[in-house]
Amino acid sequence: VAKNDFDLIVIGAGGAGLSAAVTAADAGCSVLVVESEEKVGGSTALSQGVFTAAGTSVQRALGFEDSADAFYEHYMTLNHCKLPASVVRAFCDNAAPTLEWLISLGVEYPLQLTHKPKGAVWPCAADAPGLYSSGLEHPPRGHMPVGNGYAYIAVLDERRGALGAELALKSRVTRLVNEDGRVVGIESGGDMIRAGAVAVTCGGFGHDHALLRRWFPIVFDGVPESGAPTTISAPGSRGDAIRMAEQVGAWITGVNCGLVNTRPRITRTPEMPRAVGTQPTSIIYVNREGHRFVDETAPYAVMPAILAAQGNVAWGIFDEQTRLASDVSQTHSGTTQGSGSWSPEFVLDRVRAGDFKRADTIAELCRICGIKDAAAVDHAIAAYNADLPGGRDRRFLRDLDGLRPIASAPFYAFEYRATDVNLTGAGMTIDAQGHVLDPNGDVIPGLFAAGEAGAGVLGERYVGGGNSVANALTMGRIVGRTVARERAA
Ligand SMILES: Cc1cc2nc3c(=O)[nH]c(=O)nc-3n(C[C@H](O)[C@H](O)[C@H](O)COP(=O)(O)OP(=O)(O)OC[C@H]3O[C@@H](n4cnc5c(N)ncnc54)[C@H](O)[C@@H]3O)c2cc1C
C-alpha cells in the first residue's frame, strides 16, 4: 500500500477549508491545505462575516434564550423541509459550539444589539459588529464579528501555522486521485500528493455561467435578454468542486440552492465593474401591473423569492427631492452611512445612459417603463405619502420614519432584479459527518466536503444573513473532527 504524504489534504483555504484543517491538525492529523489563489480567504475573507447560530453566549449575554431545536425548526420550515434533516440537524446543533470555538481562538463579537441601517432597502448587514436579526428570526441570530469575514481567516490561518499544518498557495487542484473507489489524493501542477482523506472546500461556482445554467437556473430568470448574471464571489469560485464531483462520480445536489442578491439594474462598464452605491430609501417598488407588493426593507434573504413571485422584475420609483438629497440613510446609532448611496449626479448619469427612466408625470414614467396601470402606481404613491406622518405603512407595516414623500417632478424609475450571485449551494452531497455520498447515498471512502462545495445545508431559501459563513465554518469543523476520529479508529 502506498504511503500517505498527509492524513488530510484540504482543497481551498477559505472558511470551510481552514476550519477543517485547524480542527484536524488540533487533533493530531498531518494536514496540507492547497489554495489556488495567491492568498488565503476566498469569499469568506470578503464577506461581512455574519454567522447565524442559536443558543450562543452572545445571545445569552444580551438576554435572549434560544436553542438548536428552535433554529432547526425555523430552518426546515423556511426551506419547506426539502433539505436532508440529518445534515441540517448537525449544522444547527454545531453552529453555536463552532461560534464559541471561534471566540476561543480570538474572534470578537461585541456584546451589543445592532441593526440594519435604518430604512435600508439594499442587501446589507448590521451597521456595527454585534448581534442582530439578519433574516426573519426572533430572537436575533446574526452574529457579526469585529473585522468582518477576514477575522475568521486571520485567526484560523494563524492557528493553522501554529499547529504546523502546511499551506501551498497558487496551487489549483485539477483532479482527485481515485483508486478502487477510494479517493487517495490530489493532482496539482502535475504533482500527485497522497492522503488518508481529502476535503473539498473550494467554494462555489458564481463565475461559471455554464454551471449556473445547469445548477442555479433561476438566476437567469431575472436577467434581461441583453444581460448576464454578475457575482460578488471571490475569483476562486469557478466551480472546481462540481467538476471534481463529476470526475469521481459523487452525487451532486442542490439545484437552485444559494443566494442571489436583488439590485437595481445598472449597466456594468470596465470603469464601473461592480454595483455602485445604494438606492435611495424614500422609494417604493411596484410590479409590472403597477402594484406595490412588499415592505421595501424586507431582508435580502427573502427578497429574491418575493421578486420572483412578481415575474422577476419590479421598478423602484423616487422623486426629484430624493435625488437631490442623495438620501443618505440614518443608522440606528444616529450616524450616517452615506458613503455608498447614489449621488444626484450619478442618477442623472444613469438616466443619460438609459439605465434609469425619468418623466415629468407618473403616467409618462409608467408608459416608458411598460408598467401597465399608472393609476395603480398613483394610488400606491398616495398611500405611501399619506402614511408618512404616522411613521408606519399600513399595508406592509414598513417603518416610514424619516422618509420623504414621492411628490416632486421629475420622477425616476429603475429596474429592480435578482441577478447578482452571492453564493451557490449545489455541490457534493454530504452526510451529517461531512462524508461525500455517491448517487446511491453510500459514502465515497476518503472524500469529504464542506462550505459551498458541499450540498445539504444551504437551501433554496437563505435563512438569514450568516447562513453561509456559519455553514462553511461549522461543516468544515465537522469534517476535521470526522477525519481525526476515523484516522484514530
Ligand atoms: C462580499 C460577500 C459578502 C458576504 N457576506 C456574507 C455574510 O456576512 N454571511 C454569510 O453567511 N455569507 C456571506 N457571504 C457568503 C459567504 O461568505 C460564502 O458563501 C462562504 O464564506 C463560502 O465559504 P467556503 O469556505 O465554502 O468558500 P470560500 O471562502 O470561497 O473558499 C474557497 C477557497 O477555495 C479556493 N479554490 C477554488 N478552487 C480551488 C482549486 N481547484 N484548488 C485549490 N483551491 C481552490 C478559493 O480560491 C477559495 O480560497 C458573502 C459573500 C461575499 C462574496
Q: Write down the residue that cell numbers 449626479 correspond to.
A: 345
**By C-alpha distance, which of 274, 312, 306, 281 is closest to 293?**
306
Residue 237 Cα: closest atom of ligand 1: 37
* Strand ranges of the sheet holding 142-144, from the earlier edge strand across to the other edge: 51-52, 142-144, 130-132
Ligand 1 proximity of 467 Cβ (cutoff 6 Å): yes
Ligand 1 proximity of 13 Cβ (cutoff 6 Å): yes
Residue 37 Cα: closest atom of ligand 1: 47
Secondary structure (H, E, C), the chain: CCCCCEEEEEECCCHHHHHHHHHHHHCCCCEEEECCCCCCCHHHHHCCCCEECCCCHHHHHCCCCCCHHHHHHHHHHHCCCCCCHHHHHHHHHHHHHHHHHHHHHCCCCCCCECCCCCCCCCCCCCCCCEEECCECCCCCCEEECCCHHHHHHHHHHHHHHHCCCEEECCCCEEEEEEECCEEEEEEECCEEEEEEEEEECCCCCCCCHHHHHHHCCHHHHCCCCCCCCEECCCCCCCCHHHHHHHHHCCCEECCCCEEEEEEECCCCECCECCCCCECCCCCEEECCCCCECCCCCCCCCCHHHHHHCCCCCEEEEEEHHHHHHCCCCECCCCCECCCCECCHHHHHHHHHHCCCEEECCHHHHHHHHCCCCHHHHHHHHHHHHHHHHHCECCCCCCECCCCCCCCCCCEEEEEEEEEEEEEECCEEEECCCCEEECCCCCEEEEEEECHHHEECCCCCCCCECCHHHHHHHHHHHHHHHHHHHHHHC
Grid cell of 351 as nine digits: 438616466
Phi-psi bin for 231: left (phi > 0), alpha (psi -120 to 50), beta?
A: beta
Ligand 1 proximity of 172 Cβ (cutoff 6 Å): yes
HSE-up of 420 (CA within 13 Å, CB side)? 20
Substitution candidate for ligand 1 out of 131, 468, 471 with most atoms within 8 A of CB: 468
Pairing mode, strands 357-359 and 314-319: unpaired
* CB neighbour list of residue 100: distance below 8 Å, 6 or more residues apart: 56, 57
Between the CA of 203 and the centroid of ligand 1 the distance, in Å, is: 5
Tens digit of each residue's pLDDT, the chain (489 residues) = 678 999 999 999 999 999 999 999 999 999 999 999 999 999 999 999 999 999 999 999 999 999 999 999 999 999 999 999 999 999 999 999 999 999 999 999 999 999 988 888 888 889 899 999 999 999 999 999 999 999 999 999 999 999 999 999 999 999 999 999 999 999 999 999 999 999 999 999 999 999 999 999 999 998 988 788 999 999 999 999 999 999 999 999 999 999 999 999 988 777 665 656 788 889 999 999 999 999 999 999 999 999 999 999 999 999 999 999 875 544 434 444 434 578 888 899 999 999 999 999 999 999 999 999 999 999 999 999 999 999 999 999 999 999 999 999 999 999 999 999 999 999 999 999 999 999 999 999 999 999 999 999 999 999 999 999 999 999 999 999 999 999 988
| Residue-level pLDDT at 334 | 41
- Bridge partners, 436 (sequence order): 430
User: CB of 114 within 8 A of CB of 129?
Assistant: yes
| Residue-level pLDDT at 268 | 76
Residue 232 Cα: closest atom of ligand 1: 53
Between the CA of 150 and the centroid of ligand 1 the distance, in Å, is: 11
**By C-alpha distance, which of 226, 221, 397, 415 is closest to 309?**
221
- Please provide residue 222's backbone torsions phi and psi, each rounded to the nearest 5 degrees: -90, -10
| Residue-level pLDDT at 279 | 87
Work out the angle at residue 23's Cα, subtended by the Cα atoms of residues 21 and 24, and round it to the nearest 5 degrees: 65
**By C-alpha distance, which of 327, 348, 351 is closest to 406?**
327
| Residue-level pLDDT at 276 | 64
Ligand 1 proximity of 436 Cβ (cutoff 6 Å): no
Ligand 1 proximity of 12 Cβ (cutoff 6 Å): yes
Q: CA 380, CA 81: separation in Å to the nearest integer? A: 36
Ligand 1 proximity of 466 Cβ (cutoff 6 Å): yes
Ligand 1 proximity of 129 Cβ (cutoff 6 Å): no
Ligand 1 proximity of 76 Cβ (cutoff 6 Å): no
Pairing mode, strands 166-168 and 31-34: parallel
Ligand 1 proximity of 236 Cβ (cutoff 6 Å): yes
Between the CA of 44 and the centroid of ligand 1 the distance, in Å, is: 4
Between the CA of 241 and the centroid of ligand 1 the distance, in Å, is: 12
| Angle, helix 467-488 to helix 148-162, in steps of 10 degrees | 20
| Angle, helix 374-387 to helix 362-369, in steps of 10 degrees | 130
Work out the angle at residue 454's Cα, subtended by the Cα atoms of residues 449 and 460, and round it to the nearest 5 degrees: 170
Between the CA of 42 and the centroid of ligand 1 the distance, in Å, is: 5
**Predicted TM-score of the model (pTM):** 0.95
Ligand 1 proximity of 452 Cβ (cutoff 6 Å): yes
Specify the residue with its C-alpha closest to ligand 1, atom 14. Answer: 47
Between the CA of 233 and the centroid of ligand 1 the distance, in Å, is: 7
Between the CA of 342 and the centroid of ligand 1 the distance, in Å, is: 28
* CB neighbour list of residue 363: distance below 8 Å, 6 or more residues apart: 374, 378
HSE-up of 28 (CA within 13 Å, CB side)? 5
| Residue-level pLDDT at 327 | 54
User: What's the Cα-to-Cα distance from 98 to each of 11, 19, 416, 450, 481, rounded to whole Å?
Assistant: 21, 9, 37, 14, 12
Between the CA of 465 and the centroid of ligand 1 the distance, in Å, is: 14
Between the CA of 4 and the centroid of ligand 1 the distance, in Å, is: 28
Q: Write down the residue that cell numbers 469557478 correspond to.
A: 238
pLDDT tens-place string over residues 118-161: 888 888 889 899 999 999 999 999 999 999 999 999 999 999 99
Ligand 1 proximity of 50 Cβ (cutoff 6 Å): yes
Specify the residue with its C-alpha closest to ligand 1, atom 2. Answer: 47
| Residue-level pLDDT at 273 | 58
Between the CA of 363 and the centroid of ligand 1 the distance, in Å, is: 45
Substitution candidate for ligand 1 out of 18, 150, 469 with most atoms within 8 A of CB: 469
| Residue-level pLDDT at 203 | 98
pLDDT tens-place string over residues 220-229: 998 988 788 9
Residue 34 Cα: closest atom of ligand 1: 43
